[in-house]
Amino acid sequence: MRLLVLSGSDVRELLGYAECADAMRGALAALASGRADQPLRMVVHPSGAAGLMALMPSYLADAQAGYGLKAICITPSNPAAGLDTHQGIVLLSSAVTGEPMALLNASAVTEIRTAAVSLLATEVLATPDADVLAVIGTGVQARAHVLALDGARRLSEIRVAGRTPERARQFAAAVRGETRAPVRACASAAEAVAGASVIVTATSSAEPVLRGDWLAPGTHVNAVGACLPGTRELDAAAAAAGPIFADRLDSLLAESGDYLLAAAEGAVSSDAIRAELGEVLIGTAPGRTSEAEITIFESLGLAVEDLAAATCAYQKAVAAGAGSWVEF
């Protein structure tokens, strides 16, 4: 059999944020309507190890590459060495025979599909005139979210805050030439989010970086960075500031420290969870109900998202003759 291998640069050249957001729309709608399957990710987190490994299998009906498996290692210290925290592979297999079809760089797939899901959530949940973006974080996901949202919305300003003001200044300088909207480095997260209408938290912090008393009425929050039960980016007041929308409910209840730690403190309950994003997309649950409502999207990252994004990149690669074919 022949196997297509797509490097990180291949994936980034093939897969744009807007078209990936369309693929995410289809994947989340399929999941909400029962045409996709995925278990909770299995996490190997050895005591004393530098990071962890997660295995994320999925199946998507009516797709040529019906099966997907992402094996991803998350190493928080990687950015200090100039590496993405996420390193791994995505395997696509035939829905008909189970034969391996493609192997893709998971760092690039994760980078693009995560920002694309936030782009979709912002489209569905933010107010139509939301035009001030605040991003807390200065890593790979912060950059991807800036580029994705700037490319899709007519923003009046992009504000960035990092662990230090110097990191924010360096990040802002690096992305200014790639955005339509002006980019401003802020001295603190509080300064960045003051009056912002769309907020992205994309950090590796285990402690809150966003407080509820900073949020203005009508704000939409994409909470991206905290994907383990013991880590959080939102304090209890921020988690309780408005209805929570999940990419997948069972993932939220098992993995979201933003929700679980706030619930343990008595700030939220299951009543705070309004719907899965896919349910809003297919019309079985409401989204935003008023201009003043604060909406919170908890992005844990789903295997079916990786499958859909990788399939889109695979199909484009086959059509364009991109990537490398190997006998397997």
Question: Using one digit for the tens of pLDDT, what is the confidence trace for 212-263?
Answer: 999 999 999 999 998 889 999 999 999 999 999 999 999 999 999 999 999 9
* pLDDT exceeds 80 at position 95: yes
| 162 and 294 inside one domain | yes
User: What are the E-state strand segments in 40-162?
Assistant: 42-44, 52-60, 67-74, 86-93, 100-105, 132-136, 157-161
201 lies in the same domain as 224: yes
Average pLDDT of the residues of the chain: 96
Q: Which one has a higher pLDDT value, 206 or 14? A: 14
Indicate the DSSP class of residue 317: H
SS3 11: helix
Give helix then strand counts, H and E, for the chain: 11, 16
* pLDDT tops 90 at residue 2: yes
How many structural domains comprise the chain? Answer: 2
Same domain, 48 and 163: no
Per the CB < 8 A criterion, the answer to whether 120 and 277 are in contact is yes
Residues 67 and 168 in one domain: no
Residue 264 above 90 pLDDT? yes
Residue range 299-311: mean pLDDT, rounded: 97
Q: Is the dihedral angle over the CA atoms 70, 68, 298, 124 positive or is it negative?
A: positive
The reported pLDDT for the residue numbered 226 is 87
pTM of structure: 0.95
Phi, psi of 181 (to 5 degrees): -85, 150
- In 3D space, the residue among 21, 280, 270 whose CA is nearest the CA of residue 125 turns out to be 280
**Residue 313 confidence class, pLDDT cut points 50, 70, 90:** very high
* 254 and 125 within one domain: yes
The 10s digit of each residue's pLDDT in 109-164 is 999 999 999 999 999 999 999 999 999 999 999 999 999 999 999 999 999 999 99
- Give pLDDT tens digits for 29-51: 999 999 999 999 999 989 989 98
250: part of which helix (H) or strand (E)?
helix 249-255
104 and 138 together in one domain: no
Is the same domain home to 148 and 289? yes
Inter-helix orientation angle 17-32/303-320, to 10°: 130
CATH number at residue 185: 3.40.50.720
User: Do 188 and 51 belong together in one domain?
Assistant: no
Same domain, 90 and 170: no
Q: What is the pLDDT of residue 228?
A: 86
Q: 260: domain range?
A: 118-302
pLDDT value of position 295:
98
Q: What is the pLDDT of residue 80?
A: 82
